Structure 1
Amino acid sequence: MTTPAPTVVLVHGAFADAASWSGVIAELQSSGIPVLAPPNPLRGLASDAAYIASVASQIDGPVVLVGHSYGGALITEAGVTENVVGLVYVAAYVLEEGESLGELQGRFPDSPLASNLKQWTYPVADSDPAVEVTITKDAFPSVFAADVPAVVTKVLAVAQRPLAASAFTETATAAAWKTKPSWALVAGADHAINPEVQRFAAKRAGATIVEIEGASHAVAVSQPKVVADLIRDAVRATS
């Protein structure tokens, strides 16, 4: 009896939505790889990771989780789900158990993202309003997607999905890379997550690392084939 090919689950990060994977999805589908790109709630590390774990656990057969940016923190927790066989990090945070995004970032110089966030509030049942953040519209192109055409970034800037500010301080309860194989793409010209953060965390996880010189944080949009190639490597290795 042959084991079914893994299903790739693409987890987007903050300030984006699942459509940011469109080019990667097309590449994977052209290779006959089953793929799913669920919405990331962006409301907090524990609850978002639980949602992604729930999605993965309901898929028949093995799963390769792919996380972009903040999505990397989620797959680090959700990856302990039994049917997850591999992890792929794309310009992403790779947390250690007990570590927060803020702690990992704090070991390195701030990226331009830190000074270009706009705060909003959103209602929470039976509680005071909570804080969420987006990237300021004018800074979005250079911070998030410097290698994406301006006509596209103008649209992406106003279609951002905000991230709950609490996500920066919540700590990871698990690190699936300790028991599952991992791959990582470092975006060499990332102005949202310092590339040094990406390199350090990917190396710590023992990931197979590919670095794309000149790539922005939105590397899945600007270079979908390169991203899909790394995911295909992970699928082949775990099939």
Structure 2
Amino acid sequence: MTTSTPTVVLVHGAFADAASWSGVITELQSHGIPVIAPPNPLRGLAADAAYVASVASQIEGPVVLVGHSYGGALITVAGTTENVVGLVYVAAYVLEEGESLGELQGRFPDSPLVSSLKQWTYPVADGDPAAEVTITAEAFPSVFAADVPADVTKVLAVAQRPLAAGAFTETASAAAWKTKPSWALVAGADQAINPEVERFGAKRAGATIVEFEGASHAVAVSQPAAVADLIRDAVRSVS
């Protein structure tokens, strides 16, 4: 393997963890593509993007950032890191500089996710507890992973990583797609992010777009080979 093959950094979104990339990782590894799937802290846009940027900057050689869902907002900001050479959005938010998740979503009808969230609190260092959200266990299969087997979704529903509620209102400090090539997968039957939100952001970014008709938000779990194919296209294009 030549050192010029970019390392793929897979950034998971809210209500999931790095294990959600397992099938994609297996596919990429079988094609000799170096890959890492770091944990996404899910505590806020600026802090999480800084973490992803830090991971990318410590990798030797070029990096392709791949973001699922909320992870798309993070790679939009973290992608300005010097050694990042491409961005891949998987059923993701593609923000503009100065835009928040709430603003982007607010231009389109709500997805079923919005009415399916449960709020929790967690302690923070400076006093009052902060709020975080998960998807209710009952709604999780249909909202997040309708094309994933029921026995798998039962596990995923109780293993969710919560997202800090503040992440919805923080604005993106940069939009790396303005200077880096991008690719986007639109999940046509997404019930967590309105597919129109995914399409709009991807088109605005000038991304190379593929649409998976009938795919749920958990498309990386249900169709890992197809998701890996898009990532490989990106890797080949920037190599």
Which TM class, normalised by the smaller chain length? over 0.9
CA distance in 1, matches of 2:3, 2:119: 47
Shift of 1:3: 5.9
AA matched with 2:61: G
Could you tell me which residue of structure 1 aligns to residue 39 of structure 2? Answer: 39
AA matched with 2:78: A
AA matched with 2:72: G
The C-alpha deviation readout for 1:140-196, integer Å capped at 9, x for no partner, is 000000000000000000000000000000000000000000000000000000000
Where do 1:47-58 residues align within 5 Å?
47-58=47-58
CA distance in 2, matches of 1:3, 1:189: 38
Could you tell me which residue of structure 1 aligns to residue 220 of structure 2? Answer: 220
AA matched with 1:204: R
The answer to whether 1:23 aligns with 2:23 is: yes
CA distance in 2, matches of 1:122, 1:201: 31
CA distance in 2, matches of 1:37, 1:3: 19
3-state secondary structure, aligned to 1:191: coil
CA distance in 1, matches of 2:3, 2:63: 12
Give 5+ residue unaligned stretches, structure 2.
none
Report the aligned-residue RMSD: 0.6
Could you tell me which residue of structure 1 aligns to residue 179 of structure 2? Answer: 179
Could you tell me which residue of structure 2 aligns to residue 10 of structure 1? Answer: 10
Could you tell me which residue of structure 1 aligns to residue 202 of structure 2? Answer: 202
Could you tell me which residue of structure 1 aligns to residue 236 of structure 2? Answer: 236
TM-score in terms of structure 1 length: 0.99
Shift of 1:214: 0.1
AA matched with 2:102: G
Could you tell me which residue of structure 2 aligns to residue 100 of structure 1? Answer: 100
The C-alpha deviation readout for 1:36-89, integer Å capped at 9, x for no partner, is 000000000000000000000000000000000000000000000000000000
Shift of 1:4: 1.3
3-state secondary structure, aligned to 2:13: coil
CA distance in 1, matches of 2:59, 2:139: 38
Shift of 1:127: 2.0
3-state secondary structure, aligned to 1:129: strand
Q: Percent identity?
A: 89
Could you tell me which residue of structure 1 aligns to residue 66 of structure 2? Answer: 66
CA distance in 1, matches of 2:11, 2:114: 22
AA matched with 2:17: D
Runs of 4+ in 1 over 4 A off after TM superposition: none
AA matched with 2:186: V
CA distance in 1, matches of 2:18, 2:3: 28
Where do 1:120-131 residues align within 5 Å?
120-131=120-131
Tell me how many residue pairs correspond in the alignment.
238
AA matched with 1:179: T
3-state secondary structure, aligned to 1:123: strand
Shift of 1:210: 0.2
Give 5+ residue unaligned stretches, structure 1.
none
3-state secondary structure, aligned to 1:33: coil
The C-alpha deviation readout for 1:98-122, integer Å capped at 9, x for no partner, is 0000000000000000000000000
TM-score in terms of structure 2 length: 0.99
3-state secondary structure, aligned to 1:97: coil
Could you tell me which residue of structure 2 aligns to residue 193 of structure 1? Answer: 193
